[in-house]
Amino acid sequence: MATNNTNQIQEQPVHETTIYAEPIFHFNNFQITNSLLNSWLSVLVILVLCLFLKFKLKKIPDKIQHIFEIFLEGALSLCDQVTNDRKITLKIFPLITSLFLFILINNWLGLLPIVGSIGFLATEAGHSIFIPLFRAGTADINTTLALSIAIVVGSNIFGIIAVGAWKTFNKYVNIKALVSIPRKIQKEPNVLIVAPINIFVGLLELIGEVAKVASLSFRLFGNVFAGEVLLASMGAIFLYILPTPFLFLEVFIGLIQALIFSLLATVYFTIASQDHSEHEEEHGKELAHV
């Protein structure tokens, strides 16, 4: 009798929170994971929301339209505080808002019990494992890494459009400072010190672009994945009452992480759109007079 009970316990399916996204099915050589399905579901939710708002637009707004107008005005004001220029804000606002909504819905969909309870059983090492069809896309490092690379590359493209390709390139590989040494060395001997410093700063800027990708991707992934582990642990120890406060905490953290990621993207786009060459020339003149 004890043996039968033991077998029943062993046959009960378990859900293990893995650091990688679980594969659901394959399309030729392309692997579809539960995080990718959740990302597609997030895009679908955003699309439906946009279509709903489009057909509900009126000259005299109703309650729903009024709420979204308040949200947009607040978001524009927040972006203005970062960019200090409404023109820049209007150029990057559609991208930043889309990014915020995508991350936010991705974070929150992974917390819904109905979404997380849909899945199937798979056998691994003789044990039945429950694999959910949907998992927060931001809990997959591939998603956050792709978003980070897109933001860093996009900010540099935006910088090229705003200040020009030469100034953007010269920010990382400061050829201008190197070429100016023979021309300025007689009148400003300190250029032998200033020019190498400018070149070194340019290399640091290039390393900083790589660091942005790492910081953006691992911050978002780490917080969302840690939240999944926390909820799974609390749910396994205390099934009903105790996990509830942690669930509300993760809802708040999901909002904060989406906001932080979007604001950092706004900062990167703003920095890329500014012309740093004038500031460097003024700084060089100050050092030359020292």
Question: Which among 180, 179, 172, 176 is positioned nearest to 200, based on CA atoms?
Answer: 172
Q: What are the residue ranges spanned by the domains of the chain? A: 2-20+33-288
Question: Which among 179, 156, 158 is positioned nearest to 169, based on CA atoms?
Answer: 156
pLDDT tens for the 290 residues of the chain, in order: 444 444 444 455 555 666 677 778 777 888 888 888 888 989 999 999 888 888 878 877 778 888 888 888 888 999 999 988 888 999 999 999 999 999 999 888 877 766 666 766 666 656 667 677 778 888 888 889 999 999 999 999 998 998 888 887 777 777 766 666 666 666 666 666 666 777 777 778 888 888 889 888 888 888 887 777 776 666 666 655 556 677 777 788 888 989 999 999 999 999 888 875 555 554 444 444 44
Rounded Cα distance, 104 and 251, in Å: 9
Asked whether the whole model's pTM tops 0.95, one would answer no
